[in-house]
C-alpha cells in the first residue's frame, strides 16, 4: 500500500535519516483511474537493494542526487511521469541547561527553524513560561534526561549547564551518539582540563576533537544575547556549510526540503476514502512556498496543508475535486504575477507548477 511508504518514511525521519519518496504515474491516459505507484528509497538502500525495483541506473543516480542536494526531481515521457521527493529529518536543537544563555539561544534557534528542546533539573528554569519558543521543555536530572531525548545525526547539542560537573556528565552521554553538532561552554583552561580528564578515562580523542569548546564563533561576545548569537551562528554553519578537502574553503550544503509533518501523518494512515495530493513541482520568481510543499484535498471539502493560500490555491482545489470525481492526474500552472497577484493583495509575483494526483 502507498500509505506504508509514508509510514516507513516517517520512521526514517524519526531516526534522523534522509529518505526519498518516488512517485510513478501512468501518463498514457491522464484521465485514467489508476492510482500512482509509490516507492521509498533510503541512503542505505541505494547502496544495497537497487535491483529490487528494476529501475535503470540513471534513475538511481537521480534519486541519489535528490538525497544529496535536497532538490526535488520531476520528469515525464509519453508513458510515465516520475516525481522524486527528498525528505530530510527535522533539525533539532537540544539545549542542556536553562540558564541566562539558554533563554535567548532557544528564541534564536526556534526562529531559525530548529525544533528546540530545553533540559534543566530545576523547575523554576525548566518550564514553558520561561521558554515559550521551545517545542519541548524537560525538567529532569542530567543523568536521566538522555532517556527522554533522541540524539541522532540531525541533532545539534549545546551544553550550557550551570556547573562544570554537569557539563562533563552531559558530554559523556552525548559522546555515545553521532550528532550533527556538539558544543560545550567554558573557558579555554576549564575546557582543556575536561578534555584531558576524558582522555584519561578512555574517551576517543578523535571524537573529543570534534566537540566545539569553547563554544561559538569568536565575535567578542560578552552579554548572554551576544553569546547566544555566537553559538547559534556556529550551529547554523554546521547545518549549512561543509569543509572542502583542503580544509580551507567551504561550500553550501544541500537545500533543506520543505514538508508538512501533518500531511505526512495523514498519508501514512491507511484510509478507504481517497484524497487528492497537490505537490509544488517547480517555481519561478517570488512564491509563498517552494518545491515539495503539499496539500491534501478530500471529497467532502476537508483540506490539509497549504501551497500558499489565496489565488495560489483556489483554482487548483477545484481541479483536485474534479480528479477525485473522475480519476486521473493533472499538472497545473499557477500564475501569481501582475494583475492576479495585485487583485489578491499578494506580495509574491511568481509562477508555480503543481502536480495533482489521486491517493
- Per-residue pLDDT of 289-341, as tens digits, reads 889 999 999 998 899 999 987 666 888 999 999 999 988 899 999 887 754 55
**Domain end call among 228, 250, 272:** 250
CATH code (residue 190): 3.40.50.720
pLDDT at 260: 85
Convert the pLDDT of each residue in 159-200 to its tens digit.
999 988 899 999 999 999 999 999 999 888 888 888 888 999
Q: Is 29 buried (19+), middle (13-18) or exposed (0-12) by CB count in 10 A?
A: exposed
Mean pLDDT of the region 33-41: 83
Whether 174 and 148 map to the same domain: the answer is yes
Whether 297 and 318 map to the same domain: the answer is yes
Q: Confidence class of residue 30 from pLDDT cuts 50, 70 and 90?
A: low
Residue 284, C-alpha cell as written in the block? 519561478
Cα(110)–Cα(137) distance, integer angstroms: 13
**Which range, 91-100, 191-200, 204-213, has the best average confidence (pLDDT)?**
91-100
Mean pLDDT of the region 96-106: 97
Size of the chain in residues = 359
Mean pLDDT of the region 201-211: 91
Whether 69 and 97 map to the same domain: the answer is no
Whether 98 and 83 map to the same domain: the answer is no
Whether 305 and 353 map to the same domain: the answer is yes
**Domain end call among 203, 232, 250:** 250
Residue 212 is given by DSSP the state B
Domain span including residue 308: 2-88+257-358
Grid-cell match 537521480, residue found:
62
Whether 299 and 243 map to the same domain: the answer is no
Whether 272 and 177 map to the same domain: the answer is no
Whether 98 and 161 map to the same domain: the answer is yes
Whether 119 and 218 map to the same domain: the answer is yes
pLDDT at 341: 53
pLDDT at 339: 46
Collapse the DSSP code of 107 into the 3-class scheme (helix H, G, I; strand E, B; otherwise coil) and give the result.
helix
Whether 207 and 222 map to the same domain: the answer is yes
Tell which wins on pLDDT, 219 or 260: 219
Mean pLDDT of the region 215-241: 94
pLDDT at 312: 64
Among residues 70, 135, 126, the alpha carbon closest in space to that of 98 is found at: 126
Whether 319 and 267 map to the same domain: the answer is yes
Convert the pLDDT of each residue in 51-61 to its tens digit.
567 788 889 99
Cα(283)–Cα(285) distance, integer angstroms: 7
Mean pLDDT across the chain, nearest whole number?
87
pLDDT at 164: 83
Give exposure, 184-217, as e/b (b: 16+ Cβ within 10 Å). Answer: bbbeeeebeebbeebeeeebeeeebeebbbbbbb
Whether 96 and 238 map to the same domain: the answer is yes
**Domain end call among 250, 277, 312:** 250
Grid-cell match 500531511, residue found:
263
User: pTM surpassing 0.85?
Assistant: no
Cβ atoms of 296 and 304 closer than 8 Å? yes
What's the domain count of the chain? 2
Residue 248 is given by DSSP the state S
Cβ atoms of 92 and 114 closer than 8 Å? yes
Amino acid at each position: 500500500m502507498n500509505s506504508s511508504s509514508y509510514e516507513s518514511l516517517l520512521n526514517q525521519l524519526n531516526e534522523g535519516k534522509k529518505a526519498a519518496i518516488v512517485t510513478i504515474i501512468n501518463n498514457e491516459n491522464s484521465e485514467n483511474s489508476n492510482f500512482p505507484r509509490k516507492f521509498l528509497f533510503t541512503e542505505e538502500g541505494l547502496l544495497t537493494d537497487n535491483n529490487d525495483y528494476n529501475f535503470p541506473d540513471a534513475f538511481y543516480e537521480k534519486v541519489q542526487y535528490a538525497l544529496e542536494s535536497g532538490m526535488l526531481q520531476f520528469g515525464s515521457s509519453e508513458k510515465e511521469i516520475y516525481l522524486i521527493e527528498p525528505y530530510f529529518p527535522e533539525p533539532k536543537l537540544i539545549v542542556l541547561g536553562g540558564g541566562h544563555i539558554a533563554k535567548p539561544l532557544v528564541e534564536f534557534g526556534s526562529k531559525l527553524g530548529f525544533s528546540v528542546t530545553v533540559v534543566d533539573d530545576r523547575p523554576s528554569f525548566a518550564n514553558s513560561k520561561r521558554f515559550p519558543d521551545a517545542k519541548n521543555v524537560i525538567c529532569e536530572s542530567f543523568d536521566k534526561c538522555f532517556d527522554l531525548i533522541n540524539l541522532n545525526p540531525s541533532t545539534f547539542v549545546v551544553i550550557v549547564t550551570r556547573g562544570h560537573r554537569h557539563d562533563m556528565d552531559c558530554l559523556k552521554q552525548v559522546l555515545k551518539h553521532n550528532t550533527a553538532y556538539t558544543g560545550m561552554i567554558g573557558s579555554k583552561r576549564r575546557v582543556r582540563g575536561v578534555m584531558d580528564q576524558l582522555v584519561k578515562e578512555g574517551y576517543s580523542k578523535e571524537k573529543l576533537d570534534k566537540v566545539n569548546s569553547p563554544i561559538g564563533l569568536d565575535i567578542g561576545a560578552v552579554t548572554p544575547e551576544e553569546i547566544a548569537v555566537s553559538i547559534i551562528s556556529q550551529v547554523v554553519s554546521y547545518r549549512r556549510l561543509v569543509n572542502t578537502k583542503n580544509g580551507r574553503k567551504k561550500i553550501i550544503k544541500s537545500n533543506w526540503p520543505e514538508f508538512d509533518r501533518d500531511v505526512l501523518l495523514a498519508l501514512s494512515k491507511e484510509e478507504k476514502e481517497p484524497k487528492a495530493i497537490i505537490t509544488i513541482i517547480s517555481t519561478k520568481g517570488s512564491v509563498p512556498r517552494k518545491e515539495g510543499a503539499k496539500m491534501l484535498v478530500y471529497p467532502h471539502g476537508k483540506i490539509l496543508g497549504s501551497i500558499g493560500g489565496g489565488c495560489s490555491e483556489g483554482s487548483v482545489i477545484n481541479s483536485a475535486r474534479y480528479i477525485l470525481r473522475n480519476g486521473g492526474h493533472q499538472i497545473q500552472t499557477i500564475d501569481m504575477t501582475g494583475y492576479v497577484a495585485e487583485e489578491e493583495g499578494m506580495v509574491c509575483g511568481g509562477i508555480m507548477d503543481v502536480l495533482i494526483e489521486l491517493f
